[in-house]
Structure 1
Amino acid sequence: MIPQPTRRQLLQGSLAVAASTVLVQVPADAAPATGIRPFRVAVRREQLADLHRRVAATRWPTRELVDDRSQGVQLATAQALARFWTNRYDWRRFEAKLNSLPQFKTEIDGVDIHFVHVRSKHRNALPLVMTHGWPGSIVELLETIGPLTDPTAHGGTAADAFHLVLPSIPGFGFSGKPGDLGWDTARTARAWAELMRRLGYPRYVAQGGDLGAAVTDNLGRLAPAGLLGIHLNLLVSALGSTAGLPTNTTEEKAAAAALQTFSASGKGYIVEQATRPQTVGYAVRDSPVALAAWMLDHDTDSYLKISHAFRGGRPSGNLTREHVLDNVSLYWLTGTGESAARAYWERTQSAGHTLPPVAVPVSFSAFPGEIFVAPRSWAETSYPTLSYYHQAGRGGHFAAWEEPALFTRELRAAFRSIR
C-alpha cells in the first residue's frame, strides 16, 4: 500500500513508487475517494509484443486511387508509420519521460482523473490548468512544461512562471472511462474546478485548444470561484455556426470560406464520432494501424505535416515521428480509442443546453495552420470580455505540440495583465 501523500509532498510534485501492473494505481482502499494518489506507468512486455504482432499482421487495403489525401490517409504513409513503429520506435523512452514527471490520480464524480502536476520554483507563479484535445492527449502539452514552469531557463522572467496542471479528459489516456452517460465538456469543466480546489489553488487560469477549448470555454461559463481568466486557440463556437459573426472583411471572408471547406470535406471523423462512436471503436481497439490511420485522418495543417514527416519529409516543429507515435501508442496501450471517441457523442447530446456567457477575461491566439484563422472581430463577438488577441506567425491546430516555445510566449503575454 502506498501511503496517502501529505499536502507538502503533493504541492512539491513528489513521485510515486513504481509497481508492475499495466497501469499502476493505488488500491481503492488506500485513500478516500476525494484523496489524491501518486501514479506511475508500467506497461508489460507482453503488451508491447502484442502491439508488434498486430502491426505485422495488418491486412493492408489497396492503394488509394488518387494522388492526394482526398480519399483518406495514404497507403504509403500508413505503411511508413507501421515500419517505424515496429522497427525504431521505443515506448520505454516515453514511459521513462512520463515517470520523470509528478503524476497523480484522484476520483471526481465517479471517474479516476489522471493528471500531471508540476509546481514552479518561483514563489508567485500563477496556477494554470491546460486541457488537451482529440486525437491528442497530454502528449501534446508536455514540451511546454519546462518553459511554463521554469521561465528563467527558457527566455522568460520569474514573473512569467506558472504552476502547471495537465489532466487527461475522462476516457482519454490514464484517466478512467466513464461508466455512465453525461460526461460532456461542461461536466469535465466542473471536474477541473474541483481538481483545482483539491490542489489548494484559490486563484488560477485555464487554457485549451481543440476539444480542450470546449472544456475551457465551459469552465469560463461556469465561472467557478477562483477562475481569473481563460485562453483559447480554437474558436469552438464558430465550428457549430457562423450565424451572427461578421463576414465583411477579407479576413472574415477567408475564415468563413475555410469553415465551409472543412464542413464539406474535412469533418468526417467528427460526424462518425458524434453519431456512431461505438462502431469505430471495434476497429481502433482491434488494430493498431486502424487506430493510427483514424487519428491521422484529421484534416488540419498539423496532421498533413505529420503525414509528410512519416514519408521522409522534415518534421514540422515538434511534430516528430517519435512524438506522434508516443500519442498513438498511449491510445493503444490504454485502450481508449472508443472511449475518447464518445466525447464527441456526449458533446452532441448536450448541444442544446445553454450556459451563461463567459464573464471572466478571455485571451485568444490565432495560429495560421488552424482549421480557420479566427479574426479579432469573431473573437470579440463570441467573447465580449476579450482582453488579449494575437495572430501568431506560425503553428497549427495543435499549437502547443507543434510550436511549444511560441505557444509559451502566447500564454505569458495573454495572462500577464491578469497577474
Structure 2
Amino acid sequence: MKIQPFSIAIPDADLDDLRARLALPRWPDEPVEAGWLYGSNLAYMKKLVAYWQQEFDWRAVEARLNRFDQFTAPIAAADGETFDIHFLHLKGSGPKPMPLLLSHGWPGSFLEFIDILEPLTHPERHGGEAIDSFDVVVPTLPGYGFSSKPKKPIGPRAIAGFWHTLMTDVLGYRRYAAQGGDWGSVVTSWLGLTEPQSLIAIHLNMIGFSPYRGAGTAPLSAAEKDWVGRVQARLSREGGYQAIQGTKPQTLNFGLTDSPVGLAAWIIEKFHGRPSAPADQPPPFSMDQLLANVSLYWLTNSIATANWIYHAVRHGGDVSLGEGQRVTVPTGFCLPPHDLFPLPPEGWLERMYNVTHRHDLDQGGHFTALECGTELVADVRRFLRPYRS
C-alpha cells in the first residue's frame, strides 16, 4: 500500500465561486425573539456570511494545515472498493512515543484536533514531559474532506476496519491506542471490540455504543432508567437532523451542496453549544474556527457523502452491541456536561466497556478537542500513562 504525500491546494476558481455565491444570499424569515431556539440565528448568520465573504482567509488556513505532514493511502474495503484515505501522521519526541489514533465525527473534521497535535506529540514544549509523547495519526473519514467518497453509505464498523489497516499494514504499528468523539467514538469503540489484540486502550469523549438489553441481562437500575428517559427527551428536541440524514439525506443534500449559506447554517447550529446553551448565546468558537470547518466541507463538496453515515448507521445497527458483546480493552472516558447525552451513571458504561478511567469535565460541549483541548490532552496523557511499556 503506497503512501503518497499530500498538500492542500484549493483552486482559485473555487474560492472565487464561493465568494460570488456568498454575495447573493436570500435570507429566511425568523420568529420574533428567536435566538437559537429554532435553529441558526438570523442576525448571527448575517454577520458570519459577511465575514466569510469579505474577510475570512482560506489561504491562511491552508498554509497552517500544510505545515503538518499529510498523506493519502489506498485502503480496500471488504466489497473490493478502494478508498484513498487522507491522514496526518506526526512523530512524537521522547524515548518511545505511543502510537495514538484520533478519530473525528460529524459535522466536524480533522481540523478539530489541530490545536492539540503539538501538545500530544511534543509535551515537553507545552509544560509536560517528553515521556508522555505520542505518534499521532489523524485520518479523515471516507466521504469527508480530502478522503475519497464511497459509492454508497458506509458505517463506523467498516471504517474501524480501514483504520486498523492504516495503523498496522500501512504505518506498521503493532499496537496502538485510539481516541474519538461523535462518530469517532463509535469507530474507536469498534476498534476496541474487534481488534483487542492490537489496541493498547481506547479513550472516548462520547459514549459510542448502546448495550445489549435482551434476555439474560441485568435489569436497569433506577439511575439508568432515569438517564435513559433524559436521553430520549433530549434527543427528541435535538435529534431532528439525525432523522433526516438517517432516512432521506439526499433531499437535504441538494440544498446543502448548492448553497454555502445553507451549509453553514446547518453545520454551525451544531456548534452553538448543544443542547443546553441559552438561546441568545453565540457559538463558543471564533468565526475563523467555524468557517475553516465549513469551508472544508464546501470546498471539497463532501457534505452529501458525509451525511450518508447516518443512513448507514440507521440501517446497519452500528451503535448497538449484540448478545455477549462487550469492549474488554481498557477504556477511559472524558465526558463534557453539555453533550447530546447527559453524564451517564457508571453502571451504564460498564455494560459496554471495561471502564478503567473516567473524568467528568466541568464545562464544554460536544466538540471537546476544540473547546476543551487542554483538559482533553491532560486526560489522555493521564489515562494512557500506565499502559506505556
Normalising by structure 1, report the TM-score.
0.84
**Which of 299, 302, 321 in structure 2 is aligned with 1:333?**
299
RMSD value, Cα? 2.5
Confirm or deny that 1:189 pairs with 2:160.
yes
| Distance in 2 between residues matched to 1:273 and 1:292, nearest whole Å | 16
Q: Map 1:35-46 to 2 at 5 A.
A: 35-46=2-13
Residue aligning to 2:127: 155
CA shift in 2, pair 1:299/1:382, >3 Å: farther
- 1:332-411 equivalent positions in 2, closer than 5 A: 332-351=298-317, 356-371=325-340, 372-383=342-353, 385-411=354-380
Contact 2:34/2:279, CA 8 A, preserved across alignment: no
Aligned-pair CA distance for 1:374: 2.2
Q: Does the 8 A contact of 2:83 with 2:142 survive in 1? A: yes
**Other-structure match for 1:278:** 250
Paired with 1:56 and 1:134, the residues of 2 have a C-alpha distance of: 27
Which residue number in structure 1 is paired with residue 207 of structure 2?
Answer: 235
Alignment partners' CA distance in 2, 1:173 and 1:184? 16
Matches within 5 A, 1:281-292: 281-292=253-264
Q: Structure 2: how far apart are the matches of 1:334 and 1:224? A: 34
The AA in structure 2 aligned to 1:380 is: E
CA shift, 1:382, in A, is 2.4
Displacement, 1:410? 1.0
CA contact (8 A) 1:223 1:359 kept: no
The aligned length equals 376
Q: For the structure 1 residues 70 and 306, does the alpha-carbon distance in structure 2 shift closer, same or farther, using more than 3 Å as the test?
A: closer
Match of 1:115 in 2: 87
3-state DSSP class of the match of 2:201? strand
- Which residues of 2 match residues 8-23 of structure 1 at below 5 A? none
Change (3 A) 1:238 1:300: farther
Query: Which whole-Å CA distance do the structure 2 matches of 1:247 and 1:265 have between them?
Result: 25
Q: Any conservation in 2 of the 1:103–1:114 contact (CA below 8 Å)? A: yes
Match of 1:146 among 111, 118, 142: 118
Closer/same/farther in 2, CA of residues 300 and 239 from structure 1, 3 Å limit: farther
| TM-score using structure 2 length | 0.90
Question: Of the two structures, which has the highest relative contact order with CA contacts closer than 8 Å and spacing of 6 or more?
Answer: 2
Contact 1:172 1:339 in 2 (8 A): yes
Distance in 2 (alpha carbons) for counterparts of 1:210 and 1:219: 15
> Per the alignment, do residues 247 and 76 of structure 1 end up closer, same or farther by CA in structure 2, a change over 3 Å counting?
farther
Q: What is the aligned partner in structure 2 of residue 212 from structure 1? A: 184
* Contact residue 127 and residue 204 of structure 1 kept, 8 A: yes
Q: Distance in 2 between matches of 1:53 and 1:244?
A: 59
Unaligned runs of 5+ in 2: 77-81
Amino acid paired to 2:362? G
Alignment correspondent of 1:293:
265
- Residue 198 of structure 2 is matched in structure 1 by 226
1:9 corresponds in structure 2 to: none
Q: Partner amino acid for 2:186? A: A
* Structure 2 Cα separation of the partners of residues 335 and 130 of structure 1: 23
The residue type equivalent to 1:295 in the other structure is: I
Number of the residue aligned with 1:19: none
Counterparts of 1:284 and 1:231 in 2: how far apart (Å)? 33
